[in-house]
Amino acid sequence: MNHHDHVDLLKPANLASGGTWADLGAGSGAFTLALRELAGPEALIYAVDRDASRLRQLEQNFRARFGENATLRTLLGDFSKPLPLPTLDGALMANSLHFFREKEAVLRQVGSLLKPAGLLLLVEYNVDSGNLWVPYPLSFETYRDLAPRAGFGEPRRLATHPSSFLRGFYSALAYKE
Protein backbone atom coordinates (compact mmCIF):
# COMPACT_ATOMS: atom_id res chain seq x y z
CA MET A 1 0.00 0.00 0.00
CA ASN A 2 1.05 3.58 -0.58
CA HIS A 3 0.17 6.91 1.02
CA HIS A 4 -2.87 7.37 -1.22
CA ASP A 5 -4.21 3.95 -0.11
CA HIS A 6 -3.71 4.86 3.56
CA VAL A 7 -5.61 8.12 3.09
CA ASP A 8 -8.40 6.33 1.19
CA LEU A 9 -8.90 3.89 4.08
CA LEU A 10 -9.40 6.77 6.54
CA LYS A 11 -11.07 9.40 4.34
CA PRO A 12 -14.66 8.07 4.72
CA ALA A 13 -14.50 9.01 8.43
CA ASN A 14 -14.89 12.66 7.30
CA LEU A 15 -12.69 13.93 10.11
CA ALA A 16 -13.16 17.47 11.35
CA SER A 17 -10.08 19.66 11.19
CA GLY A 18 -7.97 19.83 14.29
CA GLY A 19 -8.34 18.01 17.56
CA THR A 20 -5.95 16.00 19.68
CA TRP A 21 -5.19 12.55 18.30
CA ALA A 22 -2.96 9.58 19.02
CA ASP A 23 -1.71 7.02 16.53
CA LEU A 24 -1.30 3.97 18.77
CA GLY A 25 1.34 1.60 17.45
CA ALA A 26 2.42 4.22 14.93
CA GLY A 27 5.57 2.46 13.77
CA SER A 28 7.30 4.51 11.08
CA GLY A 29 4.09 6.45 10.53
CA ALA A 30 2.41 5.48 7.27
CA PHE A 31 -1.02 6.02 8.80
CA THR A 32 0.15 8.95 10.96
CA LEU A 33 0.87 10.82 7.73
CA ALA A 34 -2.59 9.95 6.40
CA LEU A 35 -4.21 11.07 9.66
CA ARG A 36 -2.38 14.41 9.53
CA GLU A 37 -3.44 14.94 5.93
CA LEU A 38 -7.09 14.37 6.84
CA ALA A 39 -7.20 16.14 10.23
CA GLY A 40 -5.21 19.09 8.93
CA PRO A 41 -2.46 21.30 10.28
CA GLU A 42 -4.51 22.29 13.35
CA ALA A 43 -4.44 18.71 14.64
CA LEU A 44 -2.07 17.77 17.44
CA ILE A 45 -0.97 14.18 16.88
CA TYR A 46 0.83 11.96 19.37
CA ALA A 47 2.58 9.00 17.75
CA VAL A 48 3.00 6.14 20.25
CA ASP A 49 5.20 3.13 19.67
CA ARG A 50 7.55 0.81 21.57
CA ASP A 51 10.34 1.21 18.99
CA ALA A 52 12.37 4.42 19.35
CA SER A 53 14.09 4.03 15.98
CA ARG A 54 10.76 3.78 14.16
CA LEU A 55 9.53 6.89 15.97
CA ARG A 56 12.66 8.77 14.86
CA GLN A 57 11.99 7.65 11.29
CA LEU A 58 8.37 8.81 11.64
CA GLU A 59 9.50 12.25 12.84
CA GLN A 60 11.79 12.62 9.82
CA ASN A 61 9.04 11.53 7.38
CA PHE A 62 6.48 13.80 9.05
CA ARG A 63 8.73 16.88 8.93
CA ALA A 64 9.75 16.13 5.32
CA ARG A 65 6.10 15.97 4.24
CA PHE A 66 4.56 18.72 6.40
CA GLY A 67 7.46 21.02 7.31
CA GLU A 68 9.63 21.63 10.32
CA ASN A 69 6.87 23.39 12.28
CA ALA A 70 4.28 20.62 11.84
CA THR A 71 2.80 19.52 15.16
CA LEU A 72 3.75 15.97 16.06
CA ARG A 73 4.73 14.56 19.42
CA THR A 74 6.26 11.13 19.77
CA LEU A 75 5.91 8.97 22.83
CA LEU A 76 7.87 5.81 23.48
CA GLY A 77 5.47 3.45 25.20
CA ASP A 78 3.02 0.57 25.20
CA PHE A 79 -0.53 1.70 24.46
CA SER A 80 -1.98 -1.32 26.24
CA LYS A 81 -0.90 0.33 29.50
CA PRO A 82 -1.64 3.80 30.91
CA LEU A 83 0.12 6.59 29.02
CA PRO A 84 0.86 10.24 29.87
CA LEU A 85 -1.43 11.66 27.19
CA PRO A 86 -4.05 14.41 27.36
CA THR A 87 -7.67 13.44 26.81
CA LEU A 88 -7.97 12.64 23.12
CA ASP A 89 -10.59 13.56 20.55
CA GLY A 90 -9.61 10.48 18.61
CA ALA A 91 -7.26 7.54 18.36
CA LEU A 92 -6.01 5.59 15.38
CA MET A 93 -4.97 1.96 15.61
CA ALA A 94 -3.67 0.80 12.24
CA ASN A 95 -2.37 -2.75 12.18
CA SER A 96 -1.56 -2.65 15.88
CA LEU A 97 -4.44 -4.37 17.67
CA HIS A 98 -3.59 -7.69 16.02
CA PHE A 99 -0.54 -8.02 18.26
CA PHE A 100 -2.72 -8.52 21.36
CA ARG A 101 -4.62 -11.65 22.28
CA GLU A 102 -6.72 -9.85 24.94
CA LYS A 103 -8.24 -7.23 22.67
CA GLU A 104 -11.11 -6.21 24.93
CA ALA A 105 -8.73 -5.11 27.70
CA VAL A 106 -6.61 -3.18 25.19
CA LEU A 107 -9.68 -1.46 23.72
CA ARG A 108 -10.87 -0.52 27.22
CA GLN A 109 -7.45 1.03 27.89
CA VAL A 110 -7.65 2.95 24.60
CA GLY A 111 -11.17 4.10 25.51
CA SER A 112 -9.83 5.51 28.79
CA LEU A 113 -7.70 7.90 26.72
CA LEU A 114 -10.68 9.26 24.78
CA LYS A 115 -13.09 12.02 25.71
CA PRO A 116 -16.79 11.04 25.86
CA ALA A 117 -17.94 10.25 22.31
CA GLY A 118 -14.27 10.19 21.23
CA LEU A 119 -13.52 8.48 17.94
CA LEU A 120 -11.57 5.27 17.40
CA LEU A 121 -10.34 4.56 13.88
CA LEU A 122 -9.26 0.97 13.35
CA VAL A 123 -7.42 -0.54 10.38
CA GLU A 124 -6.99 -4.31 10.46
CA TYR A 125 -6.72 -7.43 8.36
CA ASN A 126 -10.19 -8.82 7.71
CA VAL A 127 -9.50 -12.34 8.99
CA ASP A 128 -9.69 -14.11 12.33
CA SER A 129 -6.67 -16.36 12.07
CA GLY A 130 -3.17 -15.07 11.72
CA ASN A 131 0.42 -16.11 11.38
CA LEU A 132 3.81 -15.31 12.89
CA TRP A 133 3.75 -11.67 11.68
CA VAL A 134 0.06 -10.97 12.35
CA PRO A 135 -0.65 -13.20 15.34
CA TYR A 136 -4.21 -12.18 16.36
CA PRO A 137 -6.08 -10.38 13.57
CA LEU A 138 -9.80 -9.70 13.83
CA SER A 139 -12.34 -9.55 11.06
CA PHE A 140 -14.83 -6.72 10.90
CA GLU A 141 -17.54 -9.13 12.07
CA THR A 142 -15.50 -10.02 15.14
CA TYR A 143 -14.77 -6.35 15.80
CA ARG A 144 -18.49 -5.54 15.52
CA ASP A 145 -19.14 -7.96 18.41
CA LEU A 146 -16.12 -6.87 20.44
CA ALA A 147 -16.38 -3.07 20.32
CA PRO A 148 -19.60 -2.74 22.39
CA ARG A 149 -18.19 -5.06 25.08
CA ALA A 150 -15.15 -2.78 25.29
CA GLY A 151 -17.14 0.43 25.78
CA PHE A 152 -17.65 1.57 22.19
CA GLY A 153 -20.75 1.93 20.07
CA GLU A 154 -21.33 -0.34 17.10
CA PRO A 155 -18.51 0.16 14.61
CA ARG A 156 -19.12 1.28 11.06
CA ARG A 157 -16.98 -0.13 8.26
CA LEU A 158 -15.46 2.73 6.28
CA ALA A 159 -13.46 1.13 3.48
CA THR A 160 -11.63 -1.98 2.36
CA HIS A 161 -8.40 -2.54 0.49
CA PRO A 162 -7.12 -5.76 -1.05
CA SER A 163 -3.98 -7.42 0.22
CA SER A 164 -1.95 -10.31 -1.07
CA PHE A 165 -1.29 -11.05 2.59
CA LEU A 166 -4.24 -12.31 4.69
CA ARG A 167 -7.10 -11.42 2.27
CA GLY A 168 -7.46 -7.68 2.78
CA PHE A 169 -7.77 -4.69 5.09
CA TYR A 170 -10.77 -2.85 6.42
CA SER A 171 -11.09 0.44 8.21
CA ALA A 172 -13.79 1.13 10.77
CA LEU A 173 -14.85 3.85 13.12
CA ALA A 174 -16.48 3.54 16.51
CA TYR A 175 -17.35 6.13 19.14
CA LYS A 176 -16.67 5.77 22.84
CA GLU A 177 -19.90 5.34 24.78
Query: pTM (2 decimals)?
Result: 0.95
List domains and CATH numbers for the chain. 3-175 (3.40.50.150)
- Look at the chain and count its residues: 177
- pLDDT over 90, % of the chain: 85
What are the pLDDT digits (tens) for 29-61?
A: 999 999 999 999 999 999 999 999 999 999 999
Q: What is the Cα–Cα distance from 91 to 117, expressed in whole angstroms?
A: 12
Helices 140-149 & 103-113 angle (0-180, nearest 10): 60
Q: What is the Cα–Cα distance from 127 to 169, expressed in whole angstroms?
A: 9
107, 147 in Cβ contact below 8 A? yes
Three-state SS for the chain is CCHHHHHHHHHHHCCCCCCEEEEECCCCCHHHHHHHHHHCCCCEEEEEECCHHHHHHHHHHHHHHHCCCCCEEEEECCCCCCCCCCCEEEEEEECCHHHCCCHHHHHHHHHHHEEEEEEEEEEEECCCCCCCCCCCCCCHHHHHHHHHHCCECCCEEEEEEECCCCCEEEEEEEEEC
pLDDT at 1 over 90: no
User: Which of 46-50, 99-103, 136-140, 164-168 is predicted most confidently?
Assistant: 46-50
Residue 131 banded pLDDT, cuts 50, 70, 90: confident
Mean pLDDT in the chain?
Answer: 94
